[in-house]
């Protein structure tokens, strides 16, 4: 475990970083507007797992590899960007289905359209794993808070886990808020279709921005 001083300093830095809106947060909001709170929160959980895996990869040195290889970095970046555009296009394509799905699940006793849990988790995991900026960012952030008297790899995994938890808490708050706004739109099929298209457009814009600039967390 990192020392108490290193741990407190890291938590303070991580809280500030998490509070700054980035692609993972915008993706979460897009999912909440498109498919509702439940799937958005599952996406948050999947993204947190992705951050944890990235922390483990940083501990074994992959972050440094991506930082040094422009080709590897670009390949991962474009893969993640393409996936975001795909999800956004699917949301726009099926925006008219949202009202039908909502009515169906309400009849069955649910409040939002039901997507298989593993699928929603997998989508969040994919987004989390294919954000090379986060991997490079963690590789530069985590070593700064490692106690040199202890095992570095274990400390970086521990710090990365805490960072993932903080990010999950922050994104969950936004997911709940966006999902609540979506509930109002759901009272009208036309409004629900509009918000579905808006959420899909947000994800497409995010994917394009990630492809062009790489983004931040």
Domain coordinates in residue numbering, the chain: 4-213
pLDDT single digits (tens) 25-50: 777 877 887 778 888 899 999 999 99
d(Cα 78, Cα 176) in Å, to the nearest integer?
A: 29
CB count, 10 Å around CB of 60?
12
Decide if 113 contacts 182 (C-beta within 8 A): no
Main-chain phi, psi angles of 57, to 5 degrees? -65, -40
Task: Give the alpha-carbon dihedral of 194, 199, 200, 201, to 10 degrees.
Answer: 90
Rounded to whole angstroms, the Cα distance separating 121 from 43 reads: 5
Question: What is the residue-averaged pLDDT of the chain?
Answer: 74
> What pLDDT, in 10s, does the model give residues 85-114?
877 787 677 666 555 544 444 444 444 444
Reported in sequence order, the residue ranges of the chain that DSSP labels E, i.e. its strands, are none
CA nearest to 103, candidates 89, 93, 115, 114: 114
Whether the Cβ atoms of residue 48 and residue 164 lie closer than 8 Å to each other:
yes
């Amino acid at each position: 475990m990192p020392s108490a001083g290193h741990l407190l300093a890291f938590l303070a830095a991580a809280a500030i970083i998490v509070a700054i809106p980035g692609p993972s947060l915008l993706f979460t909001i897009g999912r909440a507007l498109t498919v509702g709170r439940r799937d958005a929160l599952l996406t948050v959980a999947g993204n947190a797992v992705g951050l944890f895996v990235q922390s483990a990869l940083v501990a074994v040195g992959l972050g440094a590899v991506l930082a040094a290889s422009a080709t590897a970095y670009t390949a991962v970046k474009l893969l993640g960007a393409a996936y975001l555009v795909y999800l956004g296009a699917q949301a726009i394509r099926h925006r008219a289905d949202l009202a039908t799905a909502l009515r169906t699940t309400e009849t069955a006793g649910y409040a939002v359209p039901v997507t298989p849990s593993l699928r929603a988790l997998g989508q969040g995991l994919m987004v989390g794993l294919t954000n090379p900026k986060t991997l490079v960012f963690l590789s530069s952030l985590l070593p700064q808070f490692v106690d040199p008297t202890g095992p570095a790899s274990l400390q970086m995994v521990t710090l990365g886990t805490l960072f993932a938890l903080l990010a999950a808490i922050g994104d969950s708050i936004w997911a709940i808020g966006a999902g609540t706004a979506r509930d109002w739109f759901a009272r009208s099929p036309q409004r629900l279709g509009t918000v579905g298209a808006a959420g899909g457009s947000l994800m497409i814009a995010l994917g394009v921005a990630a492809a062009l600039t790489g983004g931040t967390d």
